[in-house]
Amino acid sequence: MSALWTSAEIEAATGGRASAPFDVTGVTFDSREVEEGWLFVAMPGTVADGHDFVARAFAQGAAGALVSRPVEGPHVLVDDVPQALEALAIASRARMTGSVLGVTGSVGKTSTKEALAAALERRHRGKVHRSLKSYNNHTGVPLSLARMPRDSVYGVFEMGMNHEGEIRALVALVRPHVALVTAIAPAHIENLGSMDAIADAKGEIFEGLEPGGTAIIPNDTPYRDRLLKKARRHAETILTFGSGDADVHALHAVRADNGGSLVTARLESTDLTYTIAQPGEHWVSNSLAVLAAVEAAGADLAAAGLALGDMGGLKGRGERHRVALPGGTALLIDESYNANPASMAATLRSLGEEKVEGRRLAVLGTMLELGEHSDAAHAGLAPAIREARVDEVILVGEPARRLLDALGSDVAAILVPDAAAATDALLARLAPGDAVLVKASNGIGLAKLVDRVAGGAATCST
């Protein structure tokens, strides 16, 4: 494998000093992720200092380390490790001659990022780099950039935020040619104070557009015009996606035999008919955003359509498991990674569309970072649960009591304190033919429920 970075290149980018020549083929700041030949970045932390894990990283095969104090083994010594990682990210972006696409939004940004990377990868195998997991913050974005191979044809990067100004700083590193906002929803409203402020914070992604760049904006949001106003200051081209008069819209979309959707979309240059493996109306919207970005990047639309038909669910974001039970199987839909009112409503609609032989169950945990809006947001999910014809709901965490009260006697529901109690409650109820949706903010820990209930279950695409 060719070198991702040489020690001389790391020195030049960071202003550091190498103890000895070495080459690396990967970069990480998590010693548990280190692979043979990688660079370990010894990030300082409030709980643990990465320097304490340098020896472990070398034992696992690290070829070098980025450090702010001398260590045993090949290393580059710098004054400030986080600043050095950012400098490495800047150098990586500077040497990349392909096209860069940036994604943000309150809902669906990781799923859309993954779908977009898959759509581009279909034609350019091994030449598309993307940010892994949800590495979308002030450390994750620089790491994702530093990992980008020098010969990448496309780079796809996710950017998130909790406060005003965070995306502005991130997009200055990413410098995308195409900047996409998936949706605006009340995620992190506790920190930002209003929906207008959330829209403005997401709109910061347009500030980093390269000259001649394209902004892609959701049409189906009350904040469309606010985003358009922001985009006009920075983008040469603006595309909207969604329904109505959107530049990229579905001429028709129907449920496919596999549970996903069959869509014919109108784009700027052509009409395209394709299937989506993932169920739900929100995935139709995601696919339109992906195709708008693919077209803006000048990539292959037909290949993108094929990729959307093959794409499976992501862990914590729609992955589907067949759980073996005495007498048959049940379907578990894993949406445990994140939740806000918009994404809760969207996935509940998908559950309502699911063909089931048994019952529809939902394990719904607290939605975090809603501040003073929390009570109303939780209670406001009651209509979506009724419309989805959910037979029984297990609610997790005290803030969900507002939803319990709002459901009244219409839907069988219980409130439990934590993920462990929710797991026990679900296992006591789950029967062959059932379909269960598991969704909450990540901090509630329902991923542990999924791991225990799914166990060795097979993932599935239907």
Q: What is the pLDDT of residues 291-344, one digit of tens each?
A: 999 999 999 999 999 999 988 777 888 888 999 999 999 999 999 988 888 889
Residues 68 and 156 in one domain: no
CA distances from 348 to 304, 353, 393, 452 (A): 27, 9, 11, 22
Amino acid 188: pLDDT? 62
Q: Within a domain: residue 89?
A: no
What is the average pLDDT across 358-373?
Answer: 92
Residue numbers in the known binding site are 105-111
Same domain, 137 and 219: yes
Please tell me whether residues 114 and 142 are part of one structural domain.
yes
200: pLDDT strictly greater than 60: yes
CA distances from 184 to 166, 167, 280, 318 (A): 16, 14, 18, 20
Sheet holding 412-416, edge to edge: 412-416, 392-396, 360-365, 435-439, 328-335, 319-325, 458-460
Residues whose CB is less than 8 angstroms from the CB of residue 424 and which lie 6 or more positions away in sequence, other chains included = none
The CATH number given to whatever domain includes residue 335 is 3.90.190.20
Last residue of a domain, one of 280, 310, 340: 310
Structure tokens at 67: 């450090």
Name the domain boundary from 277, 310, 343: 310
**46 and 174 share a domain?**
no
- How far, CA to CA in Å, does 153 sit from each of 36, 144, 251, 378? 25, 15, 31, 43
Note whether 63 and 39 are within 8 A (CB): yes
Distance, CA of 117 to CA of 429 (rounded, Å): 38
Cα 54 to its chain centre, rounded Å, is 29
Question: What pLDDT digit, counting tens, does each position of 123-132 carry?
Answer: 999 999 999 8
Do both 237 and 326 map to the same domain? Answer: no
Count of the separate structural domains present in the chain: 3
Q: Check residues 186 and 10 and name the one with the higher pLDDT.
A: 10
pLDDT, residue 456, reads: 53
Is residue 404 within 8 A of residue 415, CB to CB? The reply is yes
Above 60 in pLDDT, residue 461? no
pLDDT tens, 213-238?
A: 999 999 999 999 999 999 999 999 99
**Which of 291, 310, 329 delimits the end of a domain?**
310
Return the H-helix or E-strand segment holding 39: strand 38-41
Residues tagged in the binding site annotation for ATP = 105-111
CA torsion angle 422 426 428 431 (round to 10): 180
Give 432: exposed, middle or buried? Use CB within 10 Å, 0-12, 13-18, 19+: middle
Domain ranges, residue 442? 319-460
Whether the predicted pLDDT of 364 surpasses 80: yes
Q: Is the pTM of this model over 0.85?
A: no
Window from 30-34, 173-177, 336-340, 364-368 with minimum mean pLDDT? 336-340
Q: pLDDT value at position 318?
A: 83
